[in-house]
């Protein structure tokens, strides 16, 4: 049977795809081998280059930098989600005095780079008399303002991508707009936009590295500091490999958590399908309706 989107490849196409796959793997392997060879030739894998990272005090500092990075990410992620939700509600409001300021706020802070926001918070506010801004506060505030604005647009796009019948069905059940938004539209929009939301949270995690500009002692700040130690041969490449691996592991863990959350939401009984299919419902005289897929609300008599 042929597919609607494309025809199944024949023997010649399958053979051609296999040859191209093997050639691609060979090219990548040769490129990686060349990079590893150059690193070995320049002594980047020598014990002298990696000796600095064997000291217990250095390892303790790396752990402290990791905790600082995770702290900034956790605070910024939670605050960004909250701010994004509030701004999305304001952007979708029917009242102009709420919708217009929310729109201006989103467009303003989406256009300003995160690094500039951090620098304004840390270097611009103290001359104005604001003295409570620490490097952590500057990093979290900059990340929250920017990513909260981006997440607001993600939530809004998810809500507006839903069929209009979803909202109309909620109003038909007697719900107000707040109930329609919180019980029907936003749960479906968040599930639909979950990959985009997780991608933005990965951006939040990686953008914590910009904190080294405002002297926030996170992973990149420490990598730059240890990579410049002339006493140990300026181990820039080893520091990059070590701290880059830590960032990759953190992103993989975040992606795994996101996958687990997605699977859990799909298996949630609140979004489970009815026990009987549409054919069984029609045979029993019950027409399928949207309320059965959103919490099991009773049909309109």
Tell me: the pLDDT tens digits for 149-201?
Answer: 999 998 888 887 777 777 777 777 777 777 777 777 878 777 778 888 888 88
**269 band by pLDDT with thresholds 50, 70 and 90:** low
Task: Tell me what the pLDDT averaged over the chain comes to.
Answer: 81
pLDDT at 232: 82
What pLDDT was estimated at residue 4? 57
Give the pLDDT band of residue 273 (cuts 50, 70, 90): very low
Per-residue pLDDT tens digits for 64-107: 999 999 999 999 999 999 999 899 888 888 888 988 999 999 99
Average pLDDT over residues 202-224: 89
Distances (CA, A) of 260 to 71, 189, 198, 256: 22, 18, 12, 6
Residue 279's pLDDT band (boundaries 50, 70, 90)? very low
Is residue 31 over pLDDT 90?
yes
Residue 172 confidence (pLDDT): 78
pLDDT digits (tens, 9 = 90+) for 113-158: 999 999 998 988 888 887 778 899 999 999 999 999 999 998 888 8
pLDDT at 48: 82
pTM of full prediction above 0.85: no
Domains, in order of start, for the chain = 53-268 (1.10.3720.10)
CA pair distance 5, 2, nearest whole angstrom: 9
């Amino acid at each position: 049977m042929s597919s609607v989107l494309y025809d199944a490849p024949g023997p010649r196409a399958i053979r051609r795809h296999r040859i191209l796959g093997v050639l691609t793997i060979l090219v990548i392997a040769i490129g990686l081998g060349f990079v590893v060879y150059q690193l070995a030739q320049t002594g980047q894998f020598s014990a002298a280059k990696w000796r600095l990272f064997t000291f217990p005090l250095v390892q303790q500092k790396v752990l402290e930098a990791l905790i600082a990075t995770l702290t900034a990410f956790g605070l910024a992620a939670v605050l960004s989600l909250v701010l994004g939700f509030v701004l999305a509600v304001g952007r979708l409001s029917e009242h102009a005095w709420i919708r217009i300021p929310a729109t201006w706020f989103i467009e303003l802070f989406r256009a300003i780079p995160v690094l500039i926001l951090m620098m304004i918070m840390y270097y611009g506010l103290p001359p104005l008399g604001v003295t409570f801004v620490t490097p952590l506060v500057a990093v979290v505030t900059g990340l929250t303002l920017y990513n909260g604005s981006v997440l607001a647009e993600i939530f809004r796009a998810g809500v507006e991508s839903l069929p209009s019948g979803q909202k109309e069905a909620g109003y038909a059940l007697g719900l107000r707009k707040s109930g329609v938004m919180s019980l029907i539209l936003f749960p479906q929009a968040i599930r639909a936009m979950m990959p985009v939301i997780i991608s933005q949270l990965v951006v939040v995690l990686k953008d914590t590295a910009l904190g080294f500009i405002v002297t926030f002692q996170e992973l990149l700040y420490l990598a730059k500091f240890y990579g410049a130690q002339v006493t140990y041969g300026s181990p820039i490449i080893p520091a990059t490999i070590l701290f880059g691996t830590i960032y990759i592991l953190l992103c993989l863990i975040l992606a795994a958590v996101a996958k687990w959350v997605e699977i859990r939401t799909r298996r949630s009984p609140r979004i489970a399908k009815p026990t009987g299919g549409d054919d069984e419902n029609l045979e029993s005289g019950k027409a399928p309706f949207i309320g059965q897929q959103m919490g099991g609300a009773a049909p309109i008599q």
